[in-house]
Amino acid sequence: MPGFELFGEAEKKQVQDVLDNGVLMRYGFDGMRKGHWKTKTLEFALAQRMQTQYAHAVSSGTAALTVALASAGVGAGDEVIMPTFTFVASFESILALGAVPILVDVDDTLTLDPNAVERAITKNTKVIMPVHMCGSMADLDALKAICKTHDLLLLEDACQAIGGSYKGKPLGSIGDLGCFSFDFVKTITCGEGGALITDRLEFYENAHKYADHGHDHIGNDRGAETHPFLGYNFRISELNAAVGCAQVQRLDEFVHIQKNHYAILKEALHSIEGIAFRRVPEGGKENYSFLNFFLPTAELTKKAHGTLAEAGVDGCFYWYDNNWHYYRKWEHLIEKKSLGNLPEQVVKQLPEYSTADFSASDHWIGRTISCLIKLGWTESEVRQRADKMSEILRGITPER
């Protein structure tokens, strides 16, 4: 991670195809295309790889989440349960529809705690949205059971975990809907882009229309298409999709590289007293984009993170103090800062997060370091990194 590290001739060829025919838009201009439909090609390949019936590519991972929620009929006043540890796009996509993000604690998977989810359900709850942060997944069987009991939808935000799996099924394909990000720092990239996947025809039909101003996409005359409902513009360009056409074919290659690098680093750290690793649910396989581990206390973790950075070990994240990925620094959500008036339902239903008790999340995130796994490392570089990390962490963690 990320896929841009290994850009090559395949990506260049796909982009050159688009530049040669001059059609940068995914719809229309049939005669000029010379048979090149990059977005359609990407969608077909993605659906095959993710073992789903339908895939629809959009302009970003945030757009994918927004369109997925909209396609399922989520709107004003509906509540979507999401974790305290995620990227801000998760709650942005919910608020964009006038719906209400309900934050709940994470557990040692670093994703949704099913017990906390159960406690957060109200008459307004419509969706449970686990976020497979840093390459691994939630307890999906438990969350599916909760959804079944309460007649809720399960939307997997797999933006950081493409290539991972759970009990033999690709992450993203297990819920009613799944979403991916293909931005510049994801495992596979389009530069900017995203996609949603589903096995439900209704959601797919809603999604491709909603993401293109409500166009029904019936017939070959775009100007004659009707608009069955309101929509917006979340289209991906053919140039971005072209990059994705090459990268999606390399996903397994990238995951294999990440797995090898991950294994070397984990082996170097596993015997260090006081270090434990994130729990991966039984039957789950990470995409190995991050190595995530816990230290005994938040104080030691923060010290270790600083020492690693001072020693030149880059790409290690301490999420507890991160502006973008943990609830503690989401002042704009907590204080309801908006350029315009927020929908009445959001104002009325949004919990008072300034006084919320997320100490269970703090317990885990405060003791977590996540180390990015780069595709471009040589084996020698990985082993040198492993040795340096091991030396530093042994000097910080308590001895036996």
Is residue 133 over pLDDT 70? yes
46 found inside a domain: yes
360 found inside a domain: yes
What average pLDDT does the chain have? 97
pLDDT band at 158 (very low <50, low <70, confident <90, very high): very high
Q: What's the confidence (pLDDT) of residue 397?
A: 73
pLDDT band at 224 (very low <50, low <70, confident <90, very high): very high
113 found inside a domain: yes
400 found inside a domain: no
Residue where a domain terminates, one of 250, 273, 301: 250
pLDDT single digits (tens) 314-353: 999 999 999 999 999 999 999 999 999 999 999 999 999 9
Whole-number Å distance between alpha carbons of 333 and 335: 5
Domain CATH for 117: 3.40.640.10
399 found inside a domain: no
Residue where a domain terminates, one of 195, 219, 250: 250
Residue where a domain terminates, one of 191, 215, 250: 250
**Judgement on whether residues 357 and 320 belong to the same structural domain of the protein:** yes
State the total domains in the chain.
Answer: 2
**Judgement on whether residues 232 and 298 belong to the same structural domain of the protein:** no
**Judgement on whether residues 332 and 217 belong to the same structural domain of the protein:** no
pLDDT band at 399 (very low <50, low <70, confident <90, very high): low
Catalytic residue among 38, 126, 186, 285: 186
Q: Is 186 a catalytic residue?
A: yes
pLDDT single digits (tens) 10-30: 999 999 999 999 999 999 999
pLDDT band at 56 (very low <50, low <70, confident <90, very high): very high
Q: What's the confidence (pLDDT) of residue 230?
A: 97
**Judgement on whether residues 225 and 243 belong to the same structural domain of the protein:** yes
Secondary-structure breakdown of the chain: helix, strand, coil percentages, each rounded to the nearest 5? 40, 15, 40
Give the structural domain span for 286. 252-394
**Judgement on whether residues 109 and 244 belong to the same structural domain of the protein:** yes
Strand-strand pairing, 169-170 and 165-166: antiparallel
**Judgement on whether residues 227 and 259 belong to the same structural domain of the protein:** no
Question: In the chain, where do the E strands start and end?
Answer: 54-58, 79-83, 100-104, 125-128, 153-157, 165-166, 169-170, 177-181, 194-198, 276-277, 284-285, 290-294, 316-317, 368-372
**Mean pLDDT confidence for 95-109:** 98
**Judgement on whether residues 320 and 245 belong to the same structural domain of the protein:** no
**Judgement on whether residues 244 and 301 belong to the same structural domain of the protein:** no
Q: What's the confidence (pLDDT) of residue 400?
A: 47
83 found inside a domain: yes
pLDDT single digits (tens) 238-247: 999 999 999 9
**Judgement on whether residues 228 and 256 belong to the same structural domain of the protein:** no
Domain CATH for 317: 3.90.1150.10
pLDDT single digits (tens) 283-300: 999 999 999 999 999 999
**Mean pLDDT confidence for 165-189:** 98
**Judgement on whether residues 142 and 61 belong to the same structural domain of the protein:** yes
133 contacts: CB under 8 Å, gap ≥ 6: 83, 85, 86, 110, 111, 160, 161, 325
